[in-house]
Chains A and B, each alone.
Chain A
Amino acid sequence: MNALYDIHGLAVRVQGLCRAAVPDINAKLQWFEVADDGRQADIEVRIGPFEPQRDGCLVLDRRYWARPGYLYVEESDKGLSWRAQIEGLDRPAGRPLRIRFAHGKANRRRLPWRLFPDLVMHLYVLWPVLECELAGRGLWLVHAGAVERDGRAVLIAGRGGVNKTALVAELCRRGWRPLSDDFVLLRQDGARGTVALAMPTSPRWFQFHLRHKEDEALSAWDKLRLLAYLYHRREVDVAFVPEASLGAVVLVQAVQGQTAPEASPMAPAPAAEALELNCRMERTAYVGHGFRIGRFLEAYRYVVPESTYGQPWETGLGPTLAKILADTRAFRLKTPRRYDARLATLVEGLE
């Protein structure tokens, strides 16, 4: 199965997606899918067996092979294994980045992954590359949900598990409109200030929470319902707002032993730092022994230290977020670890 995604101007073509999978989890970029007109994509991904071209490469840790412009990795984490090859790092403008990806034997046999095998590629290979490519175009991928009312967007940032999705869904039930529940892109747009662009990674999943399940604590029965819901490819009729100018940032943090949620304003500098780390920690969310998301980009830099690939993201994320937060109000929302329906009232009260 092939798909062409247009992420606010960045074209990504993925070939060889698994057909039988639960599509919403399998392909995180579904919402951006457009009709394939055969255009030249900026990132070309092909899933399937391939022969790596390792001639002239230097080897690190027996898992990274790199030479200028080229990287081949063999990685494994939590029983999954995969091979990937990236061609065209440090390429001149206008040329595509070519990614080849092959599953290890066990990936499709293990049960949860059998339902969404290509998530491995999205999570571990495409996402760090996407962050770098988008940053090079002035789009900053931020791990946060967002809702909009009267043309102003409120960013709801936080680590996984602090009930971002449930909070966004609850706000939408109260008349806000969603941009996204998990990721947004921020762009500095001169006179308009900062613009938040939608990046819903699994719209049906969000719709499930909106209609059928208030909180994110899923029992085994809920998980089955969710999978059935996603598998049947229900029509997505939630209208995601494509973009809105940024009004406020809310940082949701789970506090041990907290009984009721409480909100407090946050100074711009700490808010920007926390937001930056919230993005950076996505790459350390699954630190195994010798594995970390995006480590392959560092391995490439090790062999080609003069490379500038990924540098806009690496060095620009902090300063850009600091600039954005300097003229945006920010709040910290302390919440109990269990979902509390009063969160939404608090967020509405902030405005």
Chain B
Amino acid sequence: MIVDQYNVHGLVSLRVRRRRRTWADSFLDSTFAHYRVEPTAEDVDIDVEVGPFEADLAGTLSVDGRWWVAPGRVVYDSRLKVGRWRTEIAGLDGDRLRVRIASNTPARVVFPGETIYSLLRLSLARRGHLLLHGPAVTSGGRAVLLAARSGTGKTITAVNFARRGWGFMGDDSAILTAQGVRSFIVPFNLRFTYDVQRLLGIRFGRRKRAEIVLKRCLSAATLGYINLFSRIDPADVFGGRLVDAAPLAAVYLLVQGAETRVSDPRPVEPFAESVLINTLFEADQLRAMLLAYRYGNPGSPLATLWDEAREALRRRLAGCLCRRVVVPARYGPDVFDTIRSRAEADLAGEAPP
């Protein structure tokens, strides 16, 4: 049995057990590599076992023929392209999730992204922390959160900040706790249509360059059906600039539009809703699963999960500068300069706490 254990800032711990390691496991292995710890005997928050299992469905409620729901437990099948996997999550009403995943080999590339992110999101939310979709950067020990939909330019913005000496807290998500922002560092998942070396301002070794060329060829040969991304560890690129924790000073919501425009500070009341929806969009599968689960188990403590998240978000955004930044579809250098000058002014304008 291969055991991997991860601990995200002591907020949530994850253990993955597998019978064997296949080529498809590299995605899972590299995703949380930043948070890997030595396996321990004590209980973890999310215990995942990968491998074939017999799900006990007798007496469970069959919802839509896709979900099987019992008290504290839900079983469901998922598919994406050629990947197929069955997931069983137990302990949903409690603090510790017990998960079993049986999948075919291609699905081992896919399910960490779907299932494990969902579990992390759920587990963090149960503990009052929010895994927000959007990177955070820091300057002078205070963080600016850049919430955005994928494809708006959040990675480019975060990377550009880091290249100019700002602290880097991950390019995809950030964890918002009651104390402030915690980093969530996972590998860059860059489309090879980008010139990755120019974007990150680094030069890869020969092996990495060959790998990128190979992935491009594979994508072209399969007409885009197989899209392997280039995964690069941020620690290799911005080693000294990774920041673990910082209080939140400003939230920018990046939205695609016609021309670059930074709004005046917005009141938290409607603004927080946009930030929440930005995150909920990433959690469609989790939300559908929770609805099915609650349908079979009325009165579950999960009923108030999103309402509590909304309240927590409002509280934590209060006192921050909230701005909406319209970003054009073509992300030129002037776009970043606008965002940076605004961020610098915002951080300088306030007395540090």
CB-CB contacts below 8 Å: A234-283 with B: 253-258, 269-271, 273-274, 277-278, 280-281
Which residue of B has the minimal Cβ distance to A291?
A: B284
A257 to B58, CA, bound (A): 5
A61 adjacent to B149 (CB under 8 Å): yes
Residue of A255, A269, A277, A301 touching B295 (CB-CB under 8 A): A277
Task: Check: A344 CB closer than 8 A to any chain B CB.
Answer: no
A299 to B287, CA, bound (A): 16
B258 adjacent to A56 (CB under 8 Å): yes
Task: Check: B298 CB closer than 8 A to any chain A CB.
Answer: yes
A303 to B256, CA, bound (A): 10
CB-CB contacts below 8 Å: B39-85 with A: 57-65, 68, 80
A60 to B294, CA, bound (A): 30
Task: Check: A298 CB closer than 8 A to any chain B CB.
Answer: yes
Which residue of B has the minimal Cβ distance to A274?
A: B298
A256 adjacent to B57 (CB under 8 Å): yes
**Could you tell me the distance in whole angstroms from the C-beta of A275 to the nearest C-beta in chain B?**
9
**Could you tell me the distance in whole angstroms from the C-beta of A216 to the nearest C-beta in chain B?**
13
Residue of B57, B270, B285 touching A257 (CB-CB under 8 A): B57
Residue of A256, A299, A305 touching B68 (CB-CB under 8 A): A256
A292 adjacent to B80 (CB under 8 Å): no
Which residue of B has the minimal Cβ distance to A254?
A: B62
The total of chain B residues at the interface (CB under 8 A) is 41
CB-CB contacts below 8 Å: A56-76 with B: 56-62
Task: Check: A159 CB closer than 8 A to any chain B CB.
Answer: yes
B contact residues around A298 at 8 Å (CB): 277, 280-281
A337 adjacent to B257 (CB under 8 Å): no
Residue of B57, B303, B329 touching A273 (CB-CB under 8 A): B303
Residue of A60, A253, A269 touching B296 (CB-CB under 8 A): A253
Which residue of A has the minimal Cβ distance to B300?
A: A273
A60 adjacent to B60 (CB under 8 Å): no
A contact residues around B64 at 8 Å (CB): 159-161, 281, 285
A61 adjacent to B60 (CB under 8 Å): no
The total of chain A residues at the interface (CB under 8 A) is 41
A271 to B298, CA, bound (A): 8
Task: Check: A2 CB closer than 8 A to any chain B CB.
Answer: no
B255 adjacent to A303 (CB under 8 Å): yes
Task: Check: A306 CB closer than 8 A to any chain B CB.
Answer: yes
A61 adjacent to B65 (CB under 8 Å): no
A305 to B80, CA, bound (A): 32
Residue of A58, A278, A289 touching B256 (CB-CB under 8 A): A58
B contact residues around A303 at 8 Å (CB): 255, 274
B291 adjacent to A301 (CB under 8 Å): no
B257 adjacent to A58 (CB under 8 Å): yes
A contact residues around B256 at 8 Å (CB): 58-60
Task: Check: A287 CB closer than 8 A to any chain B CB.
Answer: yes
Given A273-B298, A284-B291, A306-B270, A57 contacting B62 (CB threshold 8 A): no
Residue of B272, B288, B303 touching A292 (CB-CB under 8 A): B288
B151 adjacent to A305 (CB under 8 Å): no
Task: Check: B238 CB closer than 8 A to any chain A CB.
Answer: no
A278 adjacent to B295 (CB under 8 Å): yes
B contact residues around A299 at 8 Å (CB): 277
Which residue of B has the minimal Cβ distance to A318?
A: B303
A274 to B285, CA, bound (A): 19
Task: Check: B292 CB closer than 8 A to any chain A CB.
Answer: yes
B contact residues around A57 at 8 Å (CB): 257
B contact residues around A254 at 8 Å (CB): 61-62
User: What 10 A-B pairs have minimum CB-CB distances, sorted nearest first?
Assistant: A270-B298, A305-B270, A284-B288, A273-B298, A59-B256, A305-B273, A257-B58, A277-B295, A306-B270, A302-B277
Q: List 5 A-B contacts (CB under 8 A).
A: A159-B63, A257-B58, A271-B298, A285-B64, A305-B271
